[in-house]
Amino acid sequence: MSSAAARTYLTPQEYISFERKATTKHEYLKGQIIAMSGASRAHSFITGDIFGELRDQLKGHKCEVHSSDMRVSIHSTNSYFYPDVVVACEEPRFEDNVFDTLLNPRVVIEVLSPSTEMYDRGEKFEFYKQLDSLQEYLLVSQDQVSVEHYIRQKAEWVKTEYQGLSDVVSLRSIDCELCLQDIYSRTELVSNAS
């Protein structure tokens, strides 16, 4: 999702109360709310196809997949985000009994927009790393066939890049696979692989 420039300071409690009444989504970063703008057609297709692939593969398992409407809280950074796709396993934990703010995602997937790409790669990823539950982080381009897969290995995050439509990303922590051909099937992009 893209972010707009309008920012206002709120406490975390004020933010949650505000957000639950809002007609549009806002992320929350260290006291500031950041309005989320709409997504492009390619972004919407890719996000929907990733969600659908994971939903189908996780049927009957102890993991659940959520679309961009599930908020993720990172208490150590006093922040709240709306990942494009998020997976929680075993016993998902929520901030309260409204069950709209996840505390323990295992996999987070962000589809890159021109306005958020640097943020998703940098500061937001650094915040997500604070979650002990997070095992895998994917950055998916909407402009070209390209997926960056980060997997936690002890204290390090190891990156693997995929750029061919025949490539398959193995999400080991949830025992799923994402075929790039499937997640890019409704977009007209050029593969970077030779």
Q: What is the pLDDT of residues 88-101, one digit of tens each?
A: 998 999 999 999 99
Confidence band for 11, pLDDT divided at 50, 70 and 90: confident
Q: In this structure, how many other beta carbons lie within 10 angstroms of the beta carbon of residue 140?
A: 26
Per-residue pLDDT tens over the stretch 105-115:
999 999 998 88
- 38's tokens: 């709409």
